[in-house]
Amino acid sequence: MDQLGEESRGLHATSHSSISKWQSIPADLLYVIANLCFGDEDDEDDGDPRVLMQVCHNWMSVLLSMTSLWCKIILAHPTIHANKRRVSGSEICHTPAELRKALERTNGGTIKLQCWFDSNQWDRADGHDRAEELLEVIQMSRLFLRIRHITFLSGSSKRMEGIGFDGWELPVLEEAILEGSPPVLDKQIQQTAHRLRFLSIIKADSDPLNWDLSKMSTPLAVELVGNSPGGRQKLQLRQMITSTRNIVELTIWDFTIPGSELLSLPMLQTMELNTTRFECNLDCPSLTKLHLYQSSIRTSGSDPFVSPSLKALELNDLENKDLLNIRVGSLETLQFLFFTSGDVSYIEMFFAQMIKDGHVRPRTLQLQHVHVDSSSLISILREVPDLSELLIEKCPLEIQLFEAFAGCSLPAELDSPRRPPIVPSLQVFKVISSYSTYSKDYADIIDWLTWTVDARSKNGYPLKAAIRDVDGTPWVDI
């Protein structure tokens, strides 16, 4: 017993000593440590700061003073399990009392509010009453004046129809993600969220989409997601597009945009279309990046879609023949071409059309998941004399391609016949997760790349090359 007592006193002394050490650390240093651990609001793996609050009073004071740790609030139905009380650094509130306590921790700072009204539990008799009680706390505290980000998920705008959002003013709202939001909330965002920077409308079920963005004073990114996969759902965008000149990014999923009238997006810089068809005419003079995934831009008449500032073009799923009909006008400014998925013959056909039109001289070419045929790829590369960087990812490769780059047979001998290499301007060649079509061996690619770099160096065409086995692993310079 005496021995156990001594061990117990020893453990107590050690614990007391550890706590004393934490208490001796200055508060400003604790703040730096806490900021490194929890300072990234968008990091979903930051953990729960309340664990550190249990260490000592100093930690509690520092963490409670960091309003950014307590700014994410979720309104959810009580059926959300208790062990999920903290999701991605957010406080889940089921009752008005829990919501009031969460609001106290925000210390008057701006908040990110998520309304999880997409559960069928809200359709029960008491569901609307519970939602009204939570929103009444926001109404009474005028919390809406501090909402910087809102995510509203209900599945259908009819589920929360009649729930009180009247009088909500959203002067600091910057981001809104809406799925089935009630019209009254949509109206308040349009009328009062003058600083909105990002708007996402998920499963948009209204046609036309009569959003008025004229009161938005900042550059705006818009994302529209349809209900019907494959782009069968039609959506009229004229009202939204013509109400503002501030849209700089536009992402659309699963829609057909009909019409023959001209839609003007003078400030648009980036456009991403996923299983989407644009059938109307577009005017995008500032567009610099265009990404099409199983999508197409068709224009009425003979005039092509013109984007005089386009610098980056990404085409995904090249086996979709609609992509071969893309006519993007004059592309003297194009610097980056990215092809994902499909057969190299489709790339060859695309280049043939572009070259026929006399306007494609990219500086960077990236191929991903493309079924590469060396002879076809070599013929393509001969048509891009200004190419300075080539990246090939997850593609089967043949030695003939490397020999074309080297200008000789590989491995090169001293007496090997020499010829000018293709793309003499090439300065950077990178390969990711690709393999030899002969042996299915990654090691073959390393050998071929090493021999190519050596041969070009000896012939006066220096080349920097790098390879990595899996995307995300460190590059290995050759």
Radius of gyration of the chain (CA): 29
Is the pLDDT at 310 greater than 80, yes or no?
yes
Q: Name, of 12-16, 249-253, 324-328, the range with top average pLDDT.
A: 249-253
Q: State mean pLDDT over 281-293.
A: 88
**Residues in a beta bridge with 465:** 429
Q: Residue 232 above 80 pLDDT? A: no
The predicted pLDDT at position 101 comes to 86
Max avg pLDDT among 51-60, 234-243, 438-447: 234-243
Q: Write out pLDDT tens, residues 32-64.
A: 766 676 655 555 555 666 666 666 777 666 666
Q: Mean pLDDT across the stretch 148-172?
A: 80
- Comparing 21-25, 57-61, 256-260, 378-382, which segment has the lowest mean pLDDT? 21-25
Q: Which two tokens stand for residue 147?
A: 């909402």
Q: Tell me if the bond preceding 396 is cis, omega within 30° of 0.
A: no
Rounded distance between C-alpha atoms, residue 222 and residue 234, angstroms:
17
φ, ψ dihedrals at 74, nearest 5°: -115, 130
Average per-residue pLDDT in the chain?
Answer: 79
Q: Is the pLDDT of residue 440 over 90?
A: no
pLDDT above 80: residue 156: no
In which band, very low, low, confident or very high, does the pLDDT at 414 lie, cut at 50, 70 and 90? Answer: low
Angle (CA) 214-237-156 rounded to 5° is 95
Q: What is the pLDDT of residue 86?
A: 47
Which of 301-310, 379-388, 414-423 reaches the highest mean pLDDT? 379-388
Q: What is the mean pLDDT of residues 21-28?
A: 65
pLDDT value at position 24? Answer: 65
Residue range 360-392, pLDDT digits in tens: 678 899 998 887 778 888 888 887 878 999 999
C-alpha 383 chain-centroid distance: 32
Residue 50 backbone dihedrals phi, psi, to 5 degrees = -65, -20
Per-residue pLDDT at 173 exceeds 50 = yes
What pLDDT does residue 221 have? 97
Higher pLDDT, 420 or 318: 420
For 283, phi and psi rounded to 5 degrees?
-125, 105
How far apart are alpha carbons 63 and 44 in whole angstroms? 18
Label residue 11 by pLDDT band (50, 70, 90): very low
pLDDT(1) > 50: no
Q: What is the mean pLDDT of residues 438-450?
A: 83
> Are the C-beta atoms of 89 and 72 separated by less than 8 Å?
yes
pLDDT at residue 7, as a whole number: 45
* CA-wise closest residue to 421 among 411, 400, 410, 406: 406
Contact yes or no for 396/444 (Cβ under 8 A): no
CA–CA dist 337, 339 (Å, integer): 7
- Taking the CB of residue 139, how many other CB atoms lie within 10 A of it? 16
Which residue type does 275 have? T
| Residue 464 to residue 453: CA distance in whole angstroms | 7
159: amino acid identity, one letter: R
**How many CB atoms sit inside 10 A of residue 402's CB?**
22
Looking at residue 127, what is its pLDDT?
Answer: 67
Per-residue pLDDT of 80-124, as tens digits, reads 654 444 444 567 888 899 889 888 878 788 889 998 887 666 666
pLDDT at 165 over 50: yes
Q: Is there a contact between 196 and 189 (Cβ–Cβ < 8 Å)? A: yes
**Angle formed at CA 242 by CA 239 and CA 246, multiple of 5 degrees:** 120
- What number is the average pLDDT over the span 306-317? 81
**For position 40, what pLDDT does the model report?**
59
Q: Average pLDDT, stretch 269-278?
A: 90
Higher pLDDT among residues 278 and 329, named by residue: 278
Tokens of 263: 């839609």
pLDDT at residue 448 is higher than 50: yes
Q: Is the pLDDT of residue 270 over 90?
A: yes
Q: Return the higher-pLDDT residue of 162 and 241.
A: 241
According to the model, what pLDDT value does residue 395 have?
Answer: 86
Please tell me the predicted confidence (pLDDT) of residue 250.
96
What is the C-alpha end-to-end distance of the chain, expressed in Å? 68
